[in-house]
Amino acid sequence: MQQPKLYMLLLGSRPAGRNTEQHDIFFGIGEAIKDLVPATKAFWPEAKGNLHVDAWREVTQVDGFEVKVILRAEVSHEAAAENRLFFLNLGGYKAGEFDEFHYKMLAVAEDKKAAIRQARQTAFYRHTGIKGAPSHIDEKFGVDVDELYQVKDILSPAQKEHYTLAIQPGGAVPEDELHLGYFKLHKL
């Protein structure tokens, strides 16, 4: 068995009754991205076969920290981690644009408050907002710690049962490769 890997996927679909393509983020663990196909279908059943991937990455590093997937059976006990991996979905507006723009980011931080501080430092957060419609972390009015996700918490129940994430200073770990385009599930 190969080393399991953490993947982050931007899923797209135009479910029946919708006028525009919808998107969601999916995190999954597998030896290869193709191993995640059944889990992505289970994650978004309303897509009914109309699901594709618009972007994906194998998450190996974030902010100079190495991210590893570890089998729970190989961990004698889980110590309280100093650093955690967070997923944030920032939303913002631009004057004259009939849209809400989004910036999806990963952050390694000790808690949600520190992850929000990192989000507020991004160019997106500082420059995407207008009077009456400030940049925000989606699902809240303004920035609120309740709508951040610790990645390990949004894995499927089966994956949480079998795996955990280890985040350690990584030194010279190369940037994750981003795969962008329209990827049909059966071709992954």
pLDDT of amino acid 79: 57
Order of all β-strands in the sheet with 163-169: 61-62, 65-71, 163-169
Q: 92, 142 in Cβ contact below 8 A? A: no
Q: For residues 140 and 62, give the distance between their C-alpha atoms in angstroms, rounded to a whole number.
A: 25
At 58, the pLDDT band (50, 70, 90 cuts) reads very high
Q: For residues 83 and 108, give the distance between their C-alpha atoms in angstroms, rounded to a whole number.
A: 6
pLDDT of amino acid 56: 98
Please state, for a pLDDT cut of 90, what percent of the chain lies above it. Answer: 55
Q: Is the pLDDT of residue 31 over 70?
A: yes
Q: At residue 136, what is the residue type?
A: H
Q: For residues 69 and 60, give the distance between their C-alpha atoms in angstroms, rounded to a whole number.
A: 9
Q: Is the pTM value of this prediction over 0.75?
A: yes
Q: For residues 38 and 151, give the distance between their C-alpha atoms in angstroms, rounded to a whole number.
A: 19
pLDDT of amino acid 144: 37
Q: Tell me what the pLDDT averaged over the chain comes to.
A: 86
Q: Which domains does the chain have, with CATH numbers?
A: 1-60+173-187 (3.10.20.10), 63-162 (3.10.20)
pLDDT of amino acid 55: 97
Cβ atoms < 10 Å from Cβ of 135: 22
pLDDT in tens, 93-125: 888 889 888 889 999 999 988 998 898 888 887
